Structure 1
């Protein structure tokens, strides 16, 4: 047995069964995130028809969920830096499952918005924690790919929920969609409890109770030498304040550009995911095709995320993300030149490819930008403050649609923030981010 270095042995290993289990569970939890976020978009038309809810009112409902995600990311992620990533993931899964299932019982727009706020808390904390623990278990050379792969679970969940939502609504109504989604989320908890290990980085550098025993158990699974004592930590008073550390002189400028990039891309992404089915329906597509338009968008997103992860490992994160986002801005600006349901769906798939590929790359940027002691806080605050844009995007979208803006004109308006996001990503300067 040895004294462990502060650098995690995970960095230098090929993936073991334990690491594959962590990646798989985090992928699954992000699938649930995608399902739980998109379920409101897929049911919006049916709820609106039943309750007589106008587009601007639904913009408030969409934004309530995103506000919850922002609060969850910013409020819960610092807790994950104290209690651990695994405990946070389990807690967030419970919040998501109960609140989504309970949404099936609401009787008013106000209660619907409140339940979306509560479910958003769990979703926001979940996204930050899964990205963080994946970054801490992935080998350094392939970290960007594995983080992108895990976050790719989000559009996969959105796609699968879109495929089944239309048939569930037709047979059992929109309430059944929420009930099924909530129950599925709760049923995954035993798998998380059994298969998900705590971050070794967290155990070595935060050193919670029983850290030595827990770390040695993980080291044995990684086929690494165990330890007699934990590494000695440098007493860094500033590190004890995770949020202040984000704005220290070394982190301030890169953090500012990361937050700017995320604000802009979040505004556009959540405008798209919230309103694509409604906008597509306004173009004359049937309800079923309108729902599938969101599915096509997310199929493109999944392919784009994996492509971005591969290209980033070859050409660098910042250049790859910038290319994806500038290409997306061009597609959105030119959307008005396409016509017909086939080409509409093709362009939506390509927009999903670009905007989600670029967006997910920013998770990898945040995971690389911040050290272990504040990594969950850094990722959570970046995503949380970015979601201020996500709150604004659907609200602006609701106003535009309520004012009679066409799909092509709405897309043109939102091409600008995507372009700004791509430029801001290039301005993130750090020795840890290529």
Structure 2
């Protein structure tokens, strides 16, 4: 929920920010993408520390980074300061998402793991919904900076809850202790006289998986990893085009700022429902097939968006698109945690999310260019439906050991 709040607060405040500071669509795209670039770096370089220092510690550090940077945004006076703080906030968000998905997978029962990963990730759009409702009430009275102040305070309030109530993964604790136990055992054996060794059974051979990116690109994982990266890249490009630009696009279409924010809220309400339904269906019918179905259906809805222009059904369509794209996209987190063993799970998820977020960086920038060029909402939606088709096909070709 904190991730959804801290990511979406910039989107919901974008119309007011652009008006007050006279920010162009291209610059707004850069602001969106700077935060996403921070998320990519956080996923690639900070999330792997969860395989070193633990999932719980990484989540605490991530929340602290997010809280400080989001709160300080309310003191920004120029765009450059905003860019820096959005980047720093992105570092924490990127690391938080990968660590949370990893920790959830290691707590969840094997048979229902896909559902529980999706269920916890559903907090993301839920946080976005609450942020939309909050900013719609706050901005007209107190201005856009107050939204960042409150978001930062809420993040700080969550830190004690994480510290006192979040447990560390038992899978992680057992796996990371293997090297230490083997080292201590060998030291004890070295102190025994040679004749004692003859009375002992052979020392067991234990394979230790190195927690580095080279492991997730080894022969066993290379094809799966590349397909996963491609799927997440394409899904991210479309998802973040939508989440970043829906309020602004709705405003351009003639809606008030409040109604534009509610358009984003409807999108995220649909997203929450879609994630839960996807998790349930994936547990019953197979993860890859359900993700493919969700993404292809969403691409079809986006391609047909122009037929509903000027209709009240547009808000319903926003909800359906959110249902499909977030449901399918969050399923990719479950794909990532299922691909990799515990020793490199956070690294694998972090790199997938981090490199995938390059698509999230490209999406809003291209969207800003298209909007500035005068492309209609219908054309933008049609063009951004294409990456979803590619994402669905890539996911369908990722093979699990259980073939589901």
1:180 partnered with 2:150: yes
String of CA shifts for 1:25-84, please: whole Å, max 9, x gaps: xxxxxx010000000000001111011000000100000000000000010121110000
1:277 corresponds to: 247
The Cα of 1:285 is off from its aligned counterpart by 1.1
Q: Does the CA contact (< 8 Å) of 2:125 and 2:269 recur in 1?
A: yes
- Measured in 1, the distance between the counterparts of 2:149 and 2:242 equals 25
2:362 corresponds to: 392
1:234 partnered with 2:226: no
Q: Does the CA contact (< 8 Å) of 1:242 and 1:373 recur in 2?
A: no
The Cα of 1:240 is off from its aligned counterpart by 2.1
- Measured in 1, the distance between the counterparts of 2:140 and 2:227 equals 45
SS at match of 2:399: coil
1:58 corresponds to: 28
For 1:5-404, what aligned pairs fall within 5 Å after superposition?
31-207=1-177, 234-236=206-208, 239-340=209-310, 342-404=312-374
String of CA shifts for 1:159-198, please: whole Å, max 9, x gaps: 0000110111111111100000001001111111111010
Q: Does the CA contact (< 8 Å) of 2:51 and 2:211 recur in 1?
A: no
Give the gaps of 5 or more residues in structure 2. 182-203
String of CA shifts for 1:370-423, please: whole Å, max 9, x gaps: 000000001110000100000000000000000011111100110100111001
- Measured in 2, the distance between the counterparts of 1:210 and 1:128 equals 26
- Measured in 2, the distance between the counterparts of 1:341 and 1:132 equals 42
String of CA shifts for 1:276-307, please: whole Å, max 9, x gaps: 00001111111111010000000000000000
- Measured in 2, the distance between the counterparts of 1:68 and 1:123 equals 8
**Runs (4+) off by over 3 Å:** 208-211
The 1:405–1:140 alpha-carbon spacing in structure 2 relative to 1, beyond 3 Å, is same
TM-score with structure 1 length normalisation?
0.86
2:198 corresponds to: none
Q: Does the CA contact (< 8 Å) of 1:285 and 1:341 recur in 2?
A: no
The 1:323–1:147 alpha-carbon spacing in structure 2 relative to 1, beyond 3 Å, is same
SS at match of 1:104: helix
The Cα of 1:341 is off from its aligned counterpart by 5.3
Higher Rg of the two aligned structures: 2
TM-score with structure 2 length normalisation?
0.93
- Measured in 1, the distance between the counterparts of 2:226 and 2:177 equals 30
Provide the alpha-carbon RMSD of the alignment. 1.6
The Cα of 1:89 is off from its aligned counterpart by 0.3
* Count of paired positions: 383
SS at match of 1:33: helix
- Measured in 1, the distance between the counterparts of 2:119 and 2:35 equals 24
- Measured in 2, the distance between the counterparts of 1:81 and 1:325 equals 31
- Measured in 2, the distance between the counterparts of 1:209 and 1:41 equals 46
Q: Does the CA contact (< 8 Å) of 1:145 and 1:313 recur in 2?
A: yes
The 1:323–1:108 alpha-carbon spacing in structure 2 relative to 1, beyond 3 Å, is same
The Cα of 1:241 is off from its aligned counterpart by 4.3
Greater CA drift, 395-404 or 338-347? 338-347
The Cα of 1:342 is off from its aligned counterpart by 2.2
- Measured in 2, the distance between the counterparts of 1:177 and 1:311 equals 36
Greater CA drift, 175-184 or 341-350? 341-350
The Cα of 1:339 is off from its aligned counterpart by 2.9
Q: Does the CA contact (< 8 Å) of 1:205 and 1:233 recur in 2?
A: no
